[in-house]
Amino acid sequence: MYKNYFELINSVEVDTYIKFLEEIAWFSQMTKDVKKQKEKKIKESYKNNKKYTFNNLYDLAFDAEGVGSPDGNNITGYPKIIKEFSNASFGTFNPSNIREDGQPGEVIISFRHKEKTYNMMIEDTEWYENSFTVLINRVLKEAGINQEFIKLPDTDQSVFYCFISKEIYQKALDKKLVPAQSEVDIYLNS
């Protein structure tokens, strides 16, 4: 057993790392093409900077800055982000009637999913509001969907989400195939 992700990633070859992911069923909820793309990204990461290989397990990535409106004009990137969450879920999360309304400083984002309307008031800043992902995961759970969007550890202002079950993600943490945020913080500050 490895002490942490960084010890593991420095100790095993890329094919072994991929094999470990297969053993916990990381790729089980993906199409063969998506799995093949992920394996390619993992192999490229091993060549370039393998310590950040975990970032290549993502299904959705975006810059957290710039999602909101920088000038408070209530035109944000949330409708686009909602569509990106849908694509990253391979259509499992399939919202419709996506709307954005608001007043200076606040935006209300709404959408329909499986005949139910959801909305959330978001403070209109330039930064992505993480509680919006909590709403999307609640929608998925209410729809009986086992997978959710789990955020990979932060390394900068970009956010990386996996669309995976909590059980599989926990196995990846337990086997040190992805790092905990605290491991990344220690690594980045050393």
Q: Are 93 and 85 in contact (CB under 8 A)?
A: yes
The pLDDT assigned to 115 comes to: 92
Per-residue pLDDT tens, the chain, 190 aa: give them.
789 999 999 999 999 999 999 999 999 988 899 999 999 999 999 999 999 999 999 999 998 887 765 555 545 688 889 999 999 998 899 999 999 887 767 888 999 999 999 999 988 777 888 999 999 999 999 999 999 999 999 888 889 999 999 999 999 999 999 999 988 888 877 7
pTM: 0.90
| Cα–Cα distances in angstroms (integers) from residue 189 to residues 56, 75, 119, 152, in the given order | 21, 36, 38, 18
The pLDDT assigned to 70 comes to: 52
Q: Are 161 and 59 in contact (CB under 8 A)?
A: yes
The pLDDT assigned to 157 comes to: 85
The pLDDT assigned to 189 comes to: 78
C-alpha–C-alpha distance, residues 133 and 144, integer Å: 17
161: left (phi over 0), alpha (psi -120 to 50) or beta: beta
